[in-house]
Amino acid sequence: MFDVVIAGAGPAGGHLARLLAGQGRSVLLVDAIPDWHHNPFSSAGLPLEALDRWGLPHGLVKARWKGLEIVSTAERGSWAGDRDRGAVLDFGELRAFLGEEARTRGAELRLGTRLTGWEALPEGGCRVKLASKDGNEEVQARVLVDATGPARAAFGLRPGTDYLYGVGLEHLVEVDEATYQRFGDRLVFYLGKGWVPGGYGWIFPMGQGRLKVGAGVFTVGRGRQSPDLGPFVERHLREEVRAGSRTLDIHGGLLRYARGLGDHYATGPVIAIGDAVSTLNVLGGEGIRFAMEGAELALPFIEAELAQPGSAFRGYERAMKKRFLRSWNHCEALAIRKYLEEDDSRFDRMVRFLKQQEMDLLMEVLFDYRFGRALRAAGPRYLLGKLWRKLRRPLGRVPPC
Ligand SMILES: Cc1cc2nc3c(=O)[nH]c(=O)nc-3n(C[C@H](O)[C@H](O)[C@H](O)COP(=O)(O)OP(=O)(O)OC[C@H]3O[C@@H](n4cnc5c(N)ncnc54)[C@H](O)[C@@H]3O)c2cc1C
């Protein structure tokens, strides 16, 4: 019997596996991907502090960025930083680092292996059902962790909860020296329906003359139809990167965010972490740091369940919501308003306003999700807009599609 079986070796599962293995726990980490570099879907842009905070070696960094640029239909704001503010990682290498470190610390690792189900055992713990190309298998665990992100393989979607769905597509392209000089030190975001209706686009540097060029869209409700994002990425390539780029890889992924953090957090000996409980910040489409933070928040509950099986997960949902709910609710309402409701002129106005602000304030809004200073700077204009929206419709209420 394993102490802990972790399904999903993304940032949440990989980080938890290395922490538990480092504490001497017997850990089995499984993931459906056949190898670490299979579909490295995430753009993996992070603020620089995240590297030290989560113990990520600087060797994982492909590019560092100093500046930001936001492009709307009619405006272009550019903030040139005087020091490094963030990093872009290779997502495949990040997963490999976390998983291999867990293995070095004693965890057993199986790629190409999928969690297909689980059953609680009367004597405690659970029977975990796994499938790989070699067939089906069952193992026993005292605790099962669902770190399968949007798949939510252990619990599925929670009835009665509304989900925001996102889908992203990204090209890794090789560009000429002049183009790389233009984009190599900044993150660029494209907002507005002219660029990507219902979402946003981006160009991130990846070092060695490479860029990540992507687009993502959101829908409320089930989002059964996957939109074709190809044309939006091609527009970025055509109009921003221009001729001469060579696509080296195309990858993409899904986001599934429970509105109001209404996910299923734990039942019996099973607990969910990371994007499986919506630690992703849906406004920024940023989730790597928060998946790892969520894993750390879950750790003492898992240790308590191992020490005294039965009821240790009871306070977990409360602890997670204490950390995330207030700020994430605010970001969720803003994301719905910005990406799904407002017209392009509002993005233009926002960029015009932000152009008068300094880089630190941009970082606060885009990476700390703190809006107080920006709202104070926007002053009466913001308050009037808020009042107007309140009169028209309560914030964030959009019909499901
Ligand atoms: C296009 C795109 C761009 C993004 N860009 C950024 C960015 O720039 N910065 C940032 O911080 N975040 C970004 N994110 C979000 C970030 O990647 C996620 O929030 C983060 O990866 C969540 O980590 P996780 O470990 O919870 O889940 P995931 O990384 O999704 O890992 C879940 C793992 O579970 C595995 N799995 C699924 N089902 C099963 C099963 N049944 N059995 C076994 N394994 C299973 C999957 O293969 C996967 O490896 C982006 C996301 C997308 C889609």
Q: What are phi and psi of 388, to 5 degrees?
A: -60, -45
Tokens 């665990």 belong to 141
Identify the bridge partners of residue 293 per DSSP, sorted by sequence position. none
| pLDDT number for residue 277 | 98
Task: Give CA–CA dist 21/26, Å, rounded.
Answer: 6
Report which ligand 1 atom has the smallest distance to the Cα of 253: 53
Task: Give CA–CA dist 156/140, Å, rounded.
Answer: 21
Q: Residues lining ligand 1, CB < 6 A?
A: 7-13, 30-33, 41-46, 114-115, 147-149, 151, 153, 168, 170, 214, 216, 252-253, 255, 274-275, 280, 285-289, 291
CA–CA–CA angle 340, 342, 344 (5° rounding): 110
Q: pTM of this prediction?
A: 0.93
- Tens of pLDDT, residues 257-266: 999 999 999 9
Distances in Å between the Cα of 184 and the Cα atoms of 62, 159, 174 are: 11, 45, 12
Task: Give CA–CA dist 30/225, Å, rounded.
Answer: 29
Q: Which of 335, 317, 326, 324 is nearest to 396 (CA)?
A: 335
Report which ligand 1 atom has the smallest distance to the Cα of 91: 17
Q: Write the CB contacts of 284 (distance below 8 Å, at least 6 apart in sequence).
A: 331, 366, 367, 369
Cβ burial, residue 341 (10 Å; 0-12/13-18/19+): middle
**Centre of ligand 1 from the C-alpha of residue 345, in Å:** 33
Domain boundaries, the chain: 2-58+90-160+261-328
**Centre of ligand 1 from the C-alpha of residue 259, in Å:** 18
CB 313 within 8 A of CB 271: yes
CB 67 within 8 A of CB 78: yes
Residue nearest to atom 42 of ligand 1 (CA): 114
* pLDDT of the chain, 401 residues: tens digit per residue: 999 999 999 999 999 999 999 999 999 999 999 999 999 999 999 999 999 999 999 999 999 999 999 999 999 999 998 899 999 999 999 999 999 999 999 999 999 999 999 999 998 999 999 999 999 999 999 999 999 999 999 999 999 999 999 999 999 999 999 999 999 999 999 998 888 888 899 999 999 999 999 999 887 665 556 678 888 888 888 788 876 789 999 999 999 999 999 999 999 999 999 999 999 999 989 999 999 999 999 999 999 999 998 888 999 999 999 999 999 999 999 888 888 887 888 889 989 999 988 999 889 988 999 888 888 877 766 656 666 666 555 544 444 43
| pLDDT number for residue 337 | 84
2-58+90-160+261-328: CATH superfamily: FAD/NAD(P)-binding domain (3.50.50.60)
CB 5 within 8 A of CB 125: no
The three-class DSSP label of residue 236 is helix
Q: Annotate 77-88 with b (16+ C-beta within 10 A) or e (fewer).
A: bebebeeebbbb
In which region does residue 111 sit, left (phi positive, over 0), alpha (psi from -120 to 50) or beta (all else)? beta
Strand 266-267 to 270-272 pairing: antiparallel
Residue type, 373: R
**Centre of ligand 1 from the C-alpha of residue 16, in Å:** 14
Identify the bridge partners of residue 205 per DSSP, sorted by sequence position. 211
Task: Give CA–CA dist 213/241, Å, rounded.
Answer: 9
CB 277 within 8 A of CB 295: no
- Tens of pLDDT, residues 143-200: 999 999 999 999 999 999 999 999 999 999 999 999 999 999 999 999 988 888 888 9
The proportion of the chain whose per-residue pLDDT surpasses 70, expressed as a percent, equals: 92
**Centre of ligand 1 from the C-alpha of residue 99, in Å:** 14
Q: Write the CB contacts of 95 (distance below 8 Å, at least 6 apart in sequence).
A: 9, 10, 11, 14, 33, 36, 40
